[in-house]
């Protein structure tokens, strides 16, 4: 056995290397040795928000002076309206470590401007600071452009936009039920009222 291992060391190492890397990344992702506590504050963020800075984009999610979320609609022509996607608003719930889709209010009249409260976030006070009170920031990155080896050998399937809460180089991934492939999101704010989820 020892002779076999010595004689075929390179072959065994070559075959074992992908399995070893898989094991290392699997354990580091599922059993993180984080020396810090996970985020304690809920966060509201928007997904599929590519065109938020485009002056023709008719939708906007923001926070009013009192600290509550609002959904704005600015009228555009029917042709333009068809081209724009509604943003997808999510609430991250730290106790469950999951996200919940927030339903946006229906726009009563597409011909006129509207500012509508978001029923699912009624009474939820939001702080628009970039950093949460416990020191986390909201970060997104894109995984999946891949390289020749990922394309040849089946990688890149789980590609897409990913969101994290980051503090001192520790990353806490935000888990979705199904991975959002298309995206580009933005943080709306942190839920500072501790009575809310």
Partner 1 sequence: MRYPQPDTHSKESKAQALEQIGTLAREHGITLDEIGAHLTRVSLKDKSSTWLTRLLGYVGAVFVFGGLALYMAMIWDDLNSGARVIITFGPGIVAFMMGIITLKDERFKAASTPLFLKASILQPLGMFVFLDEYSEGDDTQLAALIVFGILAVQYSLSFLGFRRTSLLFFGYIFYNAFAGILMDRCEVDEDVFGVGMSLSVLMVAWSIDRSIHKPIAAFWYFIGGLGLIWSVYDIVDHSPSDIVLLPVSIFMMWVSVRMHSRTLLLVGTFGLLGFLTYYTDEYFKDVTGWPIALMLMGLLLIGISYTAVQLSHKIKRDTALLPPEG
Given the complex with partner 1, which of 155 and 197 has the nearer CB atom?
155
Contact string 26-65 vs partner 1 (x = CB under 8 A): x--x------------------------------------
Instruction: Tell me if 181 contacts partner 1 by CB under 8 A.
Output: no
Stretch that binds partner 1, among 13-21, 50-58, 110-118, 125-133 (CB under 8 A): 13-21
Bridge partners of residue 57, in order along the sequence:
none
Contact string 115-144 vs partner 1 (x = CB under 8 A): ----------------------------xx
Stretch that binds partner 1, among 78-86, 95-103, 108-116, 146-154 (CB under 8 A): 146-154
Cα separation, 34 vs 47, in Å, equals: 27
Q: Specify whether the CB–CB gap between 45 and 163 falls below 8 A.
A: yes
* Beta carbon of residue 101, minimum distance to partner 1 (angstroms, whole number): 19
Question: Can you spell out the DSSP letters for 40-71?
Answer: -S-EEEEES-TTTT-TT--EEEEE-TTS-EEE
Q: Specify whether the CB–CB gap between 140 and 113 falls below 8 A.
A: no
Question: Can you spell out the DSSP letters for 83-110?
Answer: HPPPPEEEEEETTTTEEEEEPPPPPS-T
Q: Which residues bind partner 1 (CB under 8 A)?
A: 8, 10-11, 13-15, 17-19, 21-23, 25-26, 29, 143-150, 152-158
């Amino acid at each position: 056995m020892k002779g076999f291992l010595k004689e075929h060391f390179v072959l065994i190492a070559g075959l074992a290397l992908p399995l070893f890397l898989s094991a290392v990344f699997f354990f580091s992702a599922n059993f993180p040795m984080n020396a810090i506590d996970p985020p304690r504050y809920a966060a509201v963020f928007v997904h599929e928000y590519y065109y938020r800075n485009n002056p023709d984009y008719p939708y906007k999610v923001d926070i009013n002076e009192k600290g509550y979320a609002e959904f704005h609609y600015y009228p555009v022509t029917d042709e333009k309206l068809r081209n724009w996607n509604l943003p997808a608003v999510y609430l991250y719930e730290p106790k469950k470590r999951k996200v919940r889709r927030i339903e946006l209010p229906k726009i009563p009249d597409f011909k006129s401007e509207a500012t509508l409260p978001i029923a699912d976030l009624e009474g939820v006070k939001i702080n628009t600071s970039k950093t949460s009170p416990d020191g986390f920031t909201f970060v997104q990155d894109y995984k999946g452009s891949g390289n020749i080896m990922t394309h040849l050998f089946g990688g890149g399937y789980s590609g897409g936009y990913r969101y994290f809460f980051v503090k001192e180089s520790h990353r806490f991934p935000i888990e979705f039920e199904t991975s959002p492939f298309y995206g580009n999101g933005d943080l709306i704010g942190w839920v500072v009222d501790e009575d809310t989820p």
